[in-house]
Chains A and B, each alone.
Chain A
């Protein structure tokens, strides 16, 4: 059983953070909220998402799991105003999710769970550097890198967090010292290279967050954490690095 009311902007922001990586996802429903673990088809980027019941106006739920086409959902949500309230109800008999917003009532058919990819195993990572900065600063670094390259390096050197990107002819560097950051905590230097294909997609959701925590290592995946829905939802992105060996 699942029946809830939520503000359109919260649902929109949440779903968009996920749909930039995957077209469809398994949603775990429980009395503690909704959670999603999904990996992109190339197994390069992963998202872990959780939304607390407090993010909803009302929330009634028993344990369950449903498969949802996120592309369709994003499309439907584009019909709403950010201030709209959305009523969501699960119809398990018909394998449908019912969405009511304003005068509109949508019936969204669920994806058969058996036909979906298995949930990814979340790798356990020991990342030596942890930096907290404004989401808009990270977005700026990513946008600057897009102007010159297809990938960028993120790292920590002493008490400085930096981004570097270069092409054959051009390069760009962006850096923030410890006192320009919200916090920096590193047990050693860190530097890894990442594809902008993924980071650019993630940066839209990142830019809306006041605080973003970035965990980095040396040629290791990056972990990016931030909250949505006024702290009642959590997003964690994990992105595998590029390692250029020759």
Chain B
């Protein structure tokens, strides 16, 4: 946090609509926790990355919340219509409990708490859970660029699942299959309408893959792995479809994130430009522009835009696979000062999916579309146009058919 916060004490000198520090305390007040809690886990589990390969993992449980009300605590698709402070409020009531385990422990499965956490991860609906702590959880709220915010946490002494979790047949089947590769299991689950959030839980607690390869995967890594595996599979299919025959533009704005998504009638390629406006999370006074892309042949190295790249790509290729077309995808994401607390990479995935559900605008030329985009992006076009390599290719690169 900036040193200025000390002087300001929440008066709003930084220009953000809310003081992040104050909001943190507002959310915390609601949680009061003793050394045991009972509630329905949404279901939700967490695997940390600190100390790898000895990591912390355990269930997340909202105290006193009944099964019928619990799902929303870990269901990003439902958070879209909410404000940042609502999401933080929800998440701050989610108490994390953890135990420390080696990432290789899923191979032997001797740990009772791991087995119970895994049972929870397999469930598709909230599960009544009782958690006992060694000592009452510390009051804290953690933010992260990839992960959703998380509330207080405490060391797990014991946990019990007080009902039989409902597990989709396909999940049960692939968890029991100890010869299938994790990537193939992931695609198969996605095919069977298991959400990426559910797949992510299974992957992180070491329930997918060949027996000897199974391990705990820190949640933040598992999120991006899931987006990348499913995205790659969809891209391979999309490349078999014919090329879209017009220029389409989709837009949305969620949680201070503006998305402009342009589909161009060319074979598959993908480009994401990120513009962080001054005073949005992570940046100070200047504007930061970054871009990353992949051509028809795909991507070989991890994106400099991190998990957001894969989350955004997934949302659009889902759409292309739906309409059975391929296209060149060009996305501008502008992050406004309204995005004052990082909520996690689900914001990008769900906002892009939301944009793709809207009726698109149609354009005759890439320039006309780009000019329309520029009316909603606050940062002047000249600051980011140069990064739009894909648009330049589309405009200037001739094909052999034109000779």
Partner of A43 from B239, B386, B389, B400 at Cβ < 8 Å: B400
B380-403 residues at the A interface, CB under 8 angstroms: 386, 389, 393, 395-403
A-side interface mostly? loop
A220 to B399, CA, bound (A): 11
Partner of B400 from A39, A150, A197, A244 at Cβ < 8 Å: A39
B296 touches A240 (CB 8 A): no
B396 touches A43 (CB 8 A): no
Chain A residues with CB under 8 A of B393: 195, 242
A129-160 residues at the B interface, CB under 8 angstroms: 150
A42 touches B398 (CB 8 A): no
B400 touches A242 (CB 8 A): no
Nearest CB in chain A: distance from B399 CB, A: 4
A46 touches B400 (CB 8 A): yes
B290 at the interface (CB under 8 A from A): no
Q: Mark B187-201, 1 if CB is under 8 A from A, else 0.
A: 000000000000000
Chain B residues with CB under 8 A of A104: none
Q: Mark A17-49, 1 if CB is under 8 A from B, else 0.
A: 000000000000000000000011111111000
Chain A residues with CB under 8 A of B397: 42, 44, 195, 240, 242
B389 touches A150 (CB 8 A): yes
A41-B296, A42-B266, A42-B296 as given contacts; A240 in contact with B396, CB under 8 Å:
no
A74-128 residues at the B interface, CB under 8 angstroms: 120, 123, 125
A125 touches B396 (CB 8 A): no
Nearest CB in chain B: distance from A118 CB, A: 12
Chain B residues with CB under 8 A of A150: 389
Partner of A240 from B295, B386, B402 at Cβ < 8 Å: B402
B396 touches A242 (CB 8 A): yes
Nearest B residue to A124 via CB reads: B403
B267 at the interface (CB under 8 A from A): yes
Nearest CB in chain B: distance from A200 CB, A: 12
A123 to B401, CA, bound (A): 8
Nearest B residue to A39 via CB reads: B400
Chain B residues with CB under 8 A of A241: 398
B399 touches A123 (CB 8 A): no
A41-B239, A42-B267 as given contacts; A238 in contact with B398, CB under 8 Å:
no
A125 touches B403 (CB 8 A): yes
Residue from the set B266, B296, B389, B398 with the largest chain A CB neighbour count within 10 Å: B398
A187 at the interface (CB under 8 A from B): no
Nearest CB in chain A: distance from B59 CB, A: 44
Nearest A residue to B326 via CB reads: A41
B399 touches A43 (CB 8 A): yes
A240 touches B389 (CB 8 A): no
Nearest CB in chain B: distance from A72 CB, A: 15
A221 at the interface (CB under 8 A from B): yes
Q: Mark A220-238, 1 if CB is under 8 A from B, else 0.
A: 1100000000000000001
A221 to B397, CA, bound (A): 11
A138 to B282, CA, bound (A): 45
B403 touches A41 (CB 8 A): no
Nearest CB in chain A: distance from B235 CB, A: 12
Residue from the set B295, B395, B396, B402 with the largest chain A CB neighbour count within 10 Å: B396
Chain B residues with CB under 8 A of A242: 393, 396-398
A243 to B393, CA, bound (A): 10
A41 touches B400 (CB 8 A): no
B239 touches A243 (CB 8 A): no
B403 touches A240 (CB 8 A): yes
A220 touches B295 (CB 8 A): no
Chain B residues with CB under 8 A of A46: 400
A170 at the interface (CB under 8 A from B): no
Nearest A residue to B296 via CB reads: A41
Chain A residues with CB under 8 A of B398: 44, 221, 240-243
Nearest CB in chain A: distance from B141 CB, A: 44
**19 more A-B residue pairs beyond the given contacts A43-B399, A123-B403, with a C-beta to C-beta distance below 8 A:** A39-B400, A42-B399, A44-B397, A44-B398, A45-B400, A46-B400, A120-B400, A125-B403, A195-B397, A220-B403, A221-B400, A221-B403, A238-B400, A240-B397, A242-B393, A242-B397, A243-B398, A244-B396, A245-B395
Residues of A participating in the B interface, judged by any CB pair closer than 8 Å:
39-46, 120, 123, 125, 150, 168, 193, 195, 197, 220-221, 238, 240-245
User: Please, could you name 21 A-B residue pairs with CB atoms under 8 Å apart, sorted by A?
Assistant: A40-B296, A41-B267, A42-B267, A43-B401, A44-B397, A44-B399, A45-B400, A46-B400, A123-B400, A125-B403, A168-B386, A193-B396, A197-B295, A220-B403, A240-B397, A240-B398, A240-B400, A241-B398, A242-B396, A243-B396, A244-B396
